[in-house]
Homo-oligomer: A and B are copies of this chain.
Amino acid sequence: MLNQSPNLDLMFQALADPTRRAMIDRLSHGPASVSELAKPFAMSLPAVVQHLQALEQSGLVSSQKLGRVRTVRIEPEALSLAEQWINDRRTLWARRLDRLGDLLSETEGDQQ
């Protein structure tokens, strides 16, 4: 299954679950099969697959099947998109604080 078009709703929703974040964590070290990904978790395989579907629909992960094993890998561009969204807002705020700082020091200058 190829990657879905990344969607912020689905991406952040996918990242909101600790199981799915643990999977991303595992996948950041390299691709893995479904059963490899399932191993650390005390839940049924269908549950694991449902988590993987959430990750794949969000675009954060892609997978392809070869023979009977599905190999899952991380999609760094999608991760980057989510990261960028946060960064943009955070830096906007930071710039605003900078401008406020400038204004303050200008007024101090006027007073001195």
- List residues of chain A with CB under 8 Å of any chain B CB: 8-10, 12-13, 15-18, 21, 24-25, 27-30, 74, 76, 79-80, 82-83, 85-90, 92-94, 96
Complex Cα gap A94–B24 (Å) = 14
A90 neighbours in B (Cβ, 8 Å):
28, 74, 76, 79-80, 83
A82 neighbours in B (Cβ, 8 Å):
86
B86→A15 contact, CB < 8 A: yes
Q: Is the interface of A mostly helix, strand, loop or mixed?
A: helix
A96→B17 contact, CB < 8 A: no
Supposing A79-B86, A83-B83, A86-B82 touch, asked if A92 and B16 sit within 8 A by C-beta, the answer is no
B16→A12 contact, CB < 8 A: yes
